[in-house]
Amino acid sequence: MPCTVVTGAFWGDEGKGKIISYLALKDQLDVCVRTGSVNAAHTVWYQGKRYSLHMVPAAFVNGKCRLLIGAGANVHIPQFLKEVEATNVKNRIGIDQQASIIEEKHSIQDKTRAHLKGIGTTGWGVGPAIEERASRTAKLAKDIPELQPYLTDVTKEVNNAIDNGKKVLLEGVQGLMLSLFHGTYPYVTSRDTSASAICSEAGVGPTKVDDVLIVFKAFMTRVGGGPLPGELPREEAIKRRWFEISATGRERRTAPFNFELAKKAVMINSATQAAVTKLDILYPQCKGAKTYDALPGEAKQFINEIEKQVGIPVMLIGTGPEALDIIDRRK
């Protein structure tokens, strides 16, 4: 820090919410800017309670952190207001005036367009909303009466915070393999998901970023259609305890960790460090471990292999669902 970008390596579901909530608490973040759109949620477990966040930044667990939604984001008004209430952040969350709005008509379009049937869209209406923005006909946050109390100039706020040495985190959503440009097109989302795009949507220039933290899960998952190298049969995924249901209620397809895709993600994101989540699912004896020395040999070997193949250090290792179930290897 002071400015770190958190981005996903694969098809989302990597555990970004967990990592961000940990950093918010451990590093006492001052500002967290969420980018992207409502899509699938960031899941945060904190003090025994599960939060599924489509709009509110995962750093909300730190009661002193200023929470922002960037100009490049798309706001689903009912979901935003619902989450603000659930997380009790009304007095410390802001939306950029130029963030665009997802309307009910966009969700209907998302669910009824024939060409999207096999893509695996979440149905929120993100794609149609972004289409309107590109055609210069979108509603913006500044046009919505219910959002007036939250409006701010996020670009100005976040750059001032960085310039004043505050601890700032830019929260990406989804993962690189869902990028409109770099992912498994056409089975992708409607925007770029790389670290560069996260900076752009937040209004932060690349020279102001100190670290790009890429998040890997110990195995790969994706929902919806599209390729998944090494995909396991459903029965095998259940046997390995890799089978999961996403925050949008869909089954996650599973596959073993893919080092070639990991290298590609590190390269495109210019990642400087990595986090690995759900190591305790791959190696159950890791559950609850707080130090690297407490890990079994095969788990250490797996982490070492990731570092060797992708060329950056694994600094954070998730060993359980709670925000603080982390092995922190940073100095």
CA nearest to 71, candidates 198, 160, 192: 198
Give the pair of three-digit tokens for residue 162.
């960085």
The amino acid present at 99, given as its one-letter code, is A
Note whether 114 and 95 are within 8 A (CB): no
Active-site position among 13, 30, 110, 280 = 13
Q: What is the DSSP letter of 140?
A: B
Whole-Å CA distances, 225 to 28, 222, 252: 39, 8, 11
Does the predicted model carry a pTM greater than 0.75? yes
Q: How many domains does the chain have?
A: 1
Give residue 114's pLDDT.
53
CA torsion sign for 306, 308, 309, 310 is positive
Give residue 325's pLDDT.
95
Give residue 161's pLDDT.
98
Mean pLDDT, consecutive 10-residue stretches, the chain (331 aa), reads: 93 94 97 89 91 96 98 96 97 98 87 63 82 95 97 98 98 96 94 97 97 98 93 94 82 96 98 97 96 97 98 98 95 80
CATH of the domain at 38: 3.40.440.10
Give residue 154's pLDDT.
98
Active-site position among 27, 30, 42, 182 = 42
Q: 3-state SS string over 242-295?
A: CCEECCCCCEEEEEECCHHHHHHHHHHHCCCEEEEECHHHHCHHHCCCCCHHHC
Assess whether 54 carries a catalytic annotation.
no
Assess whether 115 carries a catalytic annotation.
no
Give the pair of three-digit tokens for residue 96.
């950029």
The amino acid present at 298, given as its one-letter code, is E
Per the structure, the complete domain to which residue 262 belongs is given by: 3-328
